[in-house]
């Protein structure tokens, strides 16, 4: 039996963070909304088990990441069939900084975007990231290092020195 109040609490306390993560990984705000809501819909369907999960928010991020990867790979498959909610009625236009960052992130592989999002949005340690992604810590360091080096190339005015690649080592 699924407990709706506990799911609602979980949703209210985590959805803003998850949406930020989705936005940083997916780029497009509307798609990020759809994808995050799809992840929560899956969470609700499995809530009977997930409620006892040691890290349900990490589980959600993993679903978001995999959906993000899947989104373009099967873009003409089931993804187009899910209910799109569309943007809210009143949305501020994206700022210049967001446009710059999203444009650069879109040119990075998904795993590098995930690692950068976990680092900059959640201030997560390399060890925690590796645990969540179930990869060695060296892999996470590589994703971060490569991701930031690539961002340095893509973002005007940000030098590689400013990115301080070693600060997560």
Partner 1 sequence: MSRELSRLYRALVEETDGRALMAPEQLRRRADRRARNRAAVGALAVAALVAGTAAGAQLVRTSGPGTPPGPPAGTPTSARPTPDASSPVPSPTMTRATPSRTPGTSPSAGPPSSRTPTTIPDRAFFALAPANDAGIAAEFTPGPVLPELCGAEPGGSGIVQRRARVLAYKLTGTPAGYVPDGSYRHSITIYRAGRADDALRELRQAVRDCPLQQVPDAPGVRSTQRLLDDGGYGDESVLFEVRTPYRDVNGRPTGGDELRLVRAVRIGDVVTVLWEQGWENTSSIRSQVDADSRRAVEAIRRWWN
Size of the site for partner 1 (CB under 8 A): 76
158 contacts partner 1 (rule: CB under 8 A): yes
Q: At what angle do helices 110-122 and 56-73 cross, to 10 degrees?
A: 150
3-state secondary structure of 143: helix
24 contacts partner 1 (rule: CB under 8 A): yes
Helix (H) or strand (E) run with residue 20 in it: helix 4-26
The answer to whether 43 and 4 are in contact (CB under 8 A) is no
Q: How far is the CB of 24 from partner 1 (least distance, A)?
A: 6
Chain positions 26 to 45 lying near partner 1, rule: CB under 8 A, are 26-27, 29, 32-33, 36-37, 40-42, 44-45
Q: How far is the CB of 105 from partner 1 (least distance, A)?
A: 9
122 contacts partner 1 (rule: CB under 8 A): no
Chain positions 74 to 113 lying near partner 1, rule: CB under 8 A, are 74-77, 82-83, 85, 87-88, 91-92, 94-95, 97-98, 100-102, 106-110
126 contacts partner 1 (rule: CB under 8 A): no
Cβ-based nearer residue to partner 1, 1 or 92 = 92
136 contacts partner 1 (rule: CB under 8 A): no
- CA–CA distance, 125 with 52 (Å, rounded to integer): 24
Nearest-5° angle of CA 21, CA 23, CA 26? Answer: 105
> Does the CA dihedral 154-121-139-166 come out positive or negative?
positive
8-state DSSP, 169: -
């Amino acid at each position: 039996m699924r407990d709706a109040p506990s799911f609602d609490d979980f949703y209210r306390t985590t959805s803003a963070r998850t949406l930020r993560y989705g936005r940083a990984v997916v780029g497009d705000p509307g798609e990020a909304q759809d994808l995050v809501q799809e992840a929560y819909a899956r969470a609700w369907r499995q809530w009977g088990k997930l409620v006892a999960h040691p890290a349900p928010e990490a589980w959600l991020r993993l679903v978001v990441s995999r959906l993000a990867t899947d989104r373009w790979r099967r873009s003409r498959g089931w993804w187009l069939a899910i209910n799109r909610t569309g943007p809210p009625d009143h949305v501020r236009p994206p700022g210049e900084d967001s446009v710059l960052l999203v444009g650069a992130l879109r040119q990075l592989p998904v795993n590098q975007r995930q690692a950068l999002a976990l680092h900059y949005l959640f201030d997560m340690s390399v060890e925690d990231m590796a645990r969540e992604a179930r990869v060695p810590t060296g892999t996470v360091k590589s994703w971060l290092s490569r991701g930031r080096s690539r961002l340095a190339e893509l973002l005007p005015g940000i030098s590689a020195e400013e990115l301080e690649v070693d600060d997560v080592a």
